[in-house]
Structure 1
Amino acid sequence: MMYDEVEEWLAGARRALDTVDVTAVTRAGQALANVRFRGGTIFVIGNGGSASTANHFACDLQKATAIEGRGTRAISLSDNTALLTAWGNDLSFDEVFAEQLRLLASPGDGLVLFSVSGSSPNLLSALAVADEMNLTTVALLGKDGGRAAHLVDHPVVISSNDYGWVESAHVVLEHVLTCYVRKAMKEHLVSNGAVHEIVR
């Protein structure tokens, strides 16, 4: 890339982030913190590049929110290649996340999905199961949010059609949400006398 192209790409990524509704992110963060407060598990899903973001988020929720050994139970359903291909081959790729949720999730758990289009059939199937099981749902989306924006409790939409910009913004937001859950957890534990000082 020439200098001007690099500059334009970075400017586009900044413009994508500027479309973020901070109130929507805050509500999503609090919803996930509430799942953590009640001891629930947060499941995370995505396809392609969004699958790697899902894995990253599950990692951060487990490790980066740990206070005095108490982290957040988080599982990426995009991570098990053997299981994904087994369900995809034997049943349908549309059901690779839904079938895992049916087995692993319980009412009160949470589901987070990352998707630029918001319309992938396997994500929509997972949302249908989440609704049946009374899971708290959060979606980080792109474009106009797709169908998922109308099916989740807390949609966060990056209003851009560029996949690279949206996926980059999603990585930033997963870090923001991780920090939100960690801070909320610290304040919760301090207010309940579980810890005596805030861990930095």
Structure 2
Amino acid sequence: MIRKRITEALEVKQRILKNDQLLAKIELAAALITRTYREGGKVLFCGNGGSAADAQHLAAELSGRFYLDREPLDAEACHVNTSFLTAVANDYDFASSYARYVKASGRKGDVLVGISTSGNSENIVKAMETAQSKSMHTIAMTGENGGKLKALANILLNVPSTDTPRIQEAHILMGHIFCEIVENNLFGQPGN
């Protein structure tokens, strides 16, 4: 089973590597995020479960550091304020939690990265709709078909797979790549 899972992960990454259109979209995502930072904006991330962990991970790569010792970039995962998240889920509903956060924190020209392997998570869909209503830019990281997020994303990074763990592994790969490109664009090449 171990070799089978590693082989499956490699096959997904090979499909990404051979997909020039998807590779170009990763470049577009990096360019959009770079432009947003140059214009004084920020990047918000949202996801559920493993995708929430990925959202927090990628926000930390931007707000902390990736390869370079450099100034921090304004990036946040929408779920990190658990008091806010649980209050909104209790007082309104869970599906509105990220949308309310985006409504409070997002500004015109900022970026929202919505991460959902199915592309159909209701709270991510509502957050993307709210971001659009605020003239924010939207990037969706999904599985193969993009789900409902496909229609809401300025840039769709849809992993060519329907297997949730393989999709999540590829999301981190793509996220690391765009974080590295953004860092290089803003601060120069790493020394390694």
Shift of 1:71: 2.3
Question: Which one-letter code corresponds to 1:181 in the other structure?
Answer: V
Is the partner of 1:130 in helix, strand or coil? helix
Is the partner of 1:99 in helix, strand or coil? helix
Which 4+ runs in 1 deviate beyond 4 A?
65-69
Equivalent in the alignment of 1:7: 3
Equivalent in the alignment of 2:156: 155
Shift of 1:199: 5.5
TM-score, normalising length from structure 2?
A: 0.91
The answer as to whether partners of 1:65 and 1:71 remain within 8 angstroms in 2 is: no
Shift of 1:37: 1.0
Equivalent in the alignment of 2:48: 47
Structure 1: runs of 5 or more not aligned: 188-197
Equivalent in the alignment of 1:56: 57
Shift of 1:83: 1.3
Superposition RMSD in Å = 1.6
The answer as to whether partners of 2:25 and 2:157 remain within 8 angstroms in 1 is: yes
Shift of 1:66: 8.9
Change (3 A) 1:150 1:19: farther
- CA-to-partner distance for each residue in 1:76-128, whole Å, 9 max, x for gaps? 10222221111111101111000011111111111011110001110111111
TM-score, normalising length from structure 1?
A: 0.88
Shift of 1:163: 0.6
Segment drifting more, 114-123 vs 13-22:
13-22
Equivalent in the alignment of 2:179: 178
Task: Provide the aligned length of Structure 1 versus Structure 2.
Answer: 186
**Percent same amino acid at aligned positions?**
25
Is the partner of 2:64 in helix, strand or coil? helix
Structure 2: runs of 5 or more not aligned: 17-21
Bigger-Rg structure (1/2): 1
Equivalent in the alignment of 1:24: 25
Change (3 A) 1:38 1:13: same
Change (3 A) 1:65 1:133: farther
